[in-house]
Amino acid sequence: DIVMTQSPSSLAVSAGETVTINCKSSQSLLSSGNQKNYLAWYQQKPGQSPKLLIYLASTRESGVPDRFIGSGSGTDFTLTISSVQAEDLADYYCQQHYSYPTFGSGTKLEIK
């Protein structure tokens, strides 16, 4: 299985700040066939189901605000949330979709 290591496990920021969440995979998620990285990000707000934010490392799902930016390639990936808002309070998970899906352990984002 591909192991996904996410960091930090939690962080607290003030509204308007920029947040970076990291995700590292135990093997490359880059397909040699199409040069795409099979990495997704999800947001889970308190008491709600997860919501897909980004897939193929940097493709934003329809309706997701452009302050959510996915980047990275190979084994190292980042979710950046610029100008964090109070509504961004949530847990964030990365997931590889290169093989049988596995998730990172999650990052809890708190707003000061």
Partner 1 sequence: EVQLVESGGGLVQPGRSLKLSCAASGFTFSNYYMAWVRQAPTKGLEWVASITNSGGSTYYRDSVKGRFTISRDNAKSTLYLQMDSLRSEDTATYYCTRVHWGVFDYWGQGVMVTVSS
CA dihedral 45, 51, 6, 66 (to 10 degrees): -100
CA gap 76, 82 in Å, rounded: 19
Both tokens assigned to 40? 């997704």
Rule CB under 8 A: choose which of 25, 38, 75, 81 binds partner 1: 38
Rule CB under 8 A: choose which of 21, 40, 81, 109 binds partner 1: 40
Site for partner 1 in 81-110 (CB under 8 A): 93, 95, 97-98, 100-106
b/e map 8-26, b = 16+ CB within 10 Å? eeeeeeeeeeebebbbbbe
Which of 4, 3, 21 has the alpha carbon at shortest distance from 110? 21
**Is 51 an interacting residue with respect to partner 1 (CB under 8 A)?**
yes
State which residue, 89 or 103, has the beta carbon closest to partner 1: 103
Name the minimum Å distance from CB 109 to partner 1.
Answer: 15
Name the minimum Å distance from CB 83 to partner 1.
Answer: 26
Identity of the amino acid at 37:
N
Rule CB under 8 A: choose which of 25, 42, 70, 81 binds partner 1: 42
Where do contacts with partner 1 occur on this chain (CB under 8 A)? 38, 40, 42, 44, 49-52, 55-56, 61, 93, 95, 97-98, 100-106
